[in-house]
């Protein structure tokens, strides 16, 4: 990240600026170079972040901003203390989706600013407008040319353009289910309305219901004011429910009612509130099996599963690996201000042979680390040493008579991703297993000392 300071302007209706400045100081302590200013007159300039700390719709700063705003709502952050429905819905209508309730969402606020700064989404020159928009998170942002991926992409394109139907995205962890969800939203007619996402397992069940549906003041202890739920915030836009397979039966029941009747009821409330959002849900679990064994509601499954998009794991589309690698190298070149221009052939060979249990996310993390630590203008095998050390060697049972061949060990070795150190370690483990765990006999058979065998097994 550059040492050049990012200008943050704070406009506040309240003279109490301690909560805002404390949150920004947390950001500064994390290493983000920021300069905080508190101007009296609202002025919108290039390459800055604007924070509006407002109390009501009559806020003079809010009124001035609505009059002056251009294509900069992506870098405007709103802080409120009052979750009154009229206030929140009015902000959303004006395209102000980055709304945080203080003091309850300070952590979300700082995390959002960190992402904004890391992605340079505050930059407003012509060539960077819409960093958070379709250029970054649209259908075209999905990298890959394999047949399986293109099938999923084409399906996402159709469902985004032709309908507002609910979508179920399936795939292993790290395949990019969230990227697909955002691409579907950004590629459709509702792209100007909110995209609200939540990881269902990240919030305890006791709090998840209030996050989804909101609550009225006095609904429970510490419910001092009304809270708008995510369903309301996503109205006319998209609500993305990640890890949907982990929802409790109680939440499933209430979610079904919201989808079927297009109304919700806040905790402690008596009035039905109309909502109309596309539901995109995602899971890495087998929902069909869960439906059969009764752990997931059949009626909810069919409501969510109007269209299913299955994202293939990276190991099933090796032809996409080099394209993704080049894409990530370019991304991290910009982020870390590097000039890596080449990926060595042996690195490409290794990357295509590696099994990628963590899918695209693991590949991205590996490239990020390699680019960050590389001192050259090209990536070499030494830049992936930590990954190479952990490559498993597969030992698979083939069809052979083990009783007739008790001394045979059958190995399937991917030469593109297996080095001698890993092969030695795994082979020693297999021999030890064959000899019933007798280390002395194993060491003698392998021609090494007991200490050397112990060291080899621990590596």
Residues 8-53 have pLDDT tens digits of 888 888 888 888 888 888 888 878 888 888 887 777 777 788 888 8
Work out the average pLDDT over 312-338: 93
pLDDT at residue 135, as a whole number: 39
Asked which of 128, 150, 172 is the last residue of a domain, the reply is 128
Work out the average pLDDT over 415-438: 80
CATH of the domain at 331: 1.10.8.60
Question: pTM of whole model > 0.85?
Answer: no
pLDDT band, very low/low/confident/very high, at 328 (cuts 50, 70, 90): very high
List, for residues 127-152, the tens digit of each pLDDT value. 332 323 333 567 888 999 999 999 99
pLDDT band, very low/low/confident/very high, at 391 (cuts 50, 70, 90): low
Asked which of 128, 159, 177 is the last residue of a domain, the reply is 128
pLDDT band, very low/low/confident/very high, at 441 (cuts 50, 70, 90): confident
pLDDT of 432 higher than 90 = no
pLDDT at residue 127, as a whole number: 32
**Residue pointed to by tokens 């920004």:** 24
pLDDT of 399 higher than 50 = no
pLDDT band, very low/low/confident/very high, at 221 (cuts 50, 70, 90): confident
User: pLDDT > 90: what percent of the chain?
Assistant: 35
d(CA 255, CA 239) in angstroms, rounded, equals 12
- Residue 1 falls within a domain, yes or no? no
List, for residues 150-183, the tens digit of each pLDDT value. 999 999 999 998 889 999 999 999 999 999 999 9
Q: Are residues 336 and 435 in the same domain?
A: no
HSE of 261, CA atoms in CB hemisphere, 13 A? 12
Q: Are residues 194 and 329 in the same domain?
A: no
Work out the average pLDDT over 299-328: 95
pLDDT at residue 400, as a whole number: 43
pLDDT at residue 406, as a whole number: 56
- Residue 401 falls within a domain, yes or no? yes
pLDDT of 96 higher than 50 = yes
pLDDT at residue 455, as a whole number: 87
Residue 92 burial by Cβ neighbours in a 10 Å radius (0-12, 13-18, 19+): buried
d(CA 264, CA 257) in angstroms, rounded, equals 8
d(CA 121, CA 131) in angstroms, rounded, equals 5
pLDDT at residue 147, as a whole number: 94
Q: Are residues 337 and 402 in the same domain?
A: no
d(CA 42, CA 34) in angstroms, rounded, equals 19
Asked which of 128, 159, 176 is the last residue of a domain, the reply is 128
Q: Are residues 151 and 267 in the same domain?
A: yes
Q: Per the structure, how many domains does the chain have?
A: 4
The overall average pLDDT reported for the chain is 83
Q: Are residues 263 and 204 in the same domain?
A: yes
pLDDT at residue 100, as a whole number: 85
Expressed as residue numbers, the domain containing 111 is: 6-128
CATH of the domain at 458: 1.10.10.60
Q: Are residues 189 and 263 in the same domain?
A: yes
- Residue 23 falls within a domain, yes or no? yes
CATH of the domain at 240: 3.40.50.300
pLDDT at residue 294, as a whole number: 94
| SS3 state of residue 385 | helix
- Asked whether the beta carbons of 115 and 32 are under 8 A apart, the reply is no
List, for residues 232-282, the tens digit of each pLDDT value. 888 888 999 999 999 999 999 999 999 999 999 999 988 899 989 999 999
pLDDT at residue 415, as a whole number: 67
Q: Are residues 366 and 400 in the same domain?
A: no
Work out the average pLDDT over 90-101: 78
Question: Does a cis peptide bond (omega within 30 degrees of 0) precede residue 103?
Answer: yes
pLDDT band, very low/low/confident/very high, at 423 (cuts 50, 70, 90): confident
pLDDT of 397 higher than 60 = no
Q: How many helices (H) and strands (E) does the chain have?
A: 19, 16
pLDDT of 395 higher than 90 = no
């Amino acid at each position: 990240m550059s040492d050049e300071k990012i200008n943050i302007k704070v406009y506040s209706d309240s003279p109490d600026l301690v909560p805002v400045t404390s949150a920004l100081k947390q950001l500064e302590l994390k290493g983000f170079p920021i300069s905080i200013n508190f101007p009296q007159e609202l002025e919108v300039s290039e390459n800055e972040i604007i924070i509006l700390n407002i109390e009501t719709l009559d806020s003079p700063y809010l009124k001035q901003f609505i009059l002056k705003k251009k294509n900069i709502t992506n870098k405007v952050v709103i802080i409120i203390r009052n979750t009154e429905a009229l206030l929140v819905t009015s902000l959303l209508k004006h395209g102000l989706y980055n709304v945080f309730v203080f003091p309850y969402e300070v952590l979300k606020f700082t995390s959002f600013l960190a992402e904004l700064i890391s992605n340079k989404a505050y930059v407003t020159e012509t060539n960077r407008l819409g960093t958070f928009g379709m250029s970054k998170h649209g259908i075209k942002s999905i990298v890959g040319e394999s047949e399986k991926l293109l099938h999923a992409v084409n399906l996402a394109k159709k469902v985004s353009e032709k309908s507002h139907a609910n979508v179920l995205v399936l795939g292993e962890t790290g395949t990019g289910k969230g990227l697909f969800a955002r691409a579907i939203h950004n590629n459709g007619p509702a792209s100007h309305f909110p995209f609200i996402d939540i990881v269902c397992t990240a919030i305890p069940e006791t709090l998840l219901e209030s996050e989804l549906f909101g609550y009225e003041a006095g609904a429970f202890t510490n419910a001092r004011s009304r809270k708008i739920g995510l369903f309301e915030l996503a109205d006319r836009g998209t609500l993305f429910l990640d890890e949907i397979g982990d929802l409790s039966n109680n939440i499933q029941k209430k979610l079904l009612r919201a989808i079927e009747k297009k109304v919700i009821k806040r905790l402690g409330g008596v009035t039905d509130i109309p909502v109309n959002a596309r539901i995109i849900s995602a899971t890495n679990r087998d929902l069909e099996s869960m439906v059969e064994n009764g752990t997931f509601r059949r009626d909810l499954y069919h409501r969510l599963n109007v269209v299913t998009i299955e994202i293939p794991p990276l190991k099933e589309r090796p032809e996409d690996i080099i394209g993704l690698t080049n894409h990530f190298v370019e991304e991290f070149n910009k982020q870390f201000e590097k000039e890596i221009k080449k990926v060595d052939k042996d690195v490409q060979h290794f990357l295509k042979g590696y099994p990628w249990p963590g899918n695209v996310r693991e590949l991205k993390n590996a490239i990020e680390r390699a680019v960050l630590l590389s001192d050259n203008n090209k990536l070499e095998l030494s830049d992936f040493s930590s990954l190479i050390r952990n490559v498993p060697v597969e030992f698979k049972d083939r069809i052979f008579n083990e009783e007739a061949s008790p001394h045979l060990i059958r190995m399937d070795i991917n030469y593109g991703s297996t080095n001698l150190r890993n092969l030695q370690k795994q082979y020693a483990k297999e021999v030890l297993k064959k000899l019933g765990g007798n280390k002395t006999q194993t060491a003698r058979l392998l021609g090494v000392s007991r200490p050397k065998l112990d060291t080899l097994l621990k590596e």
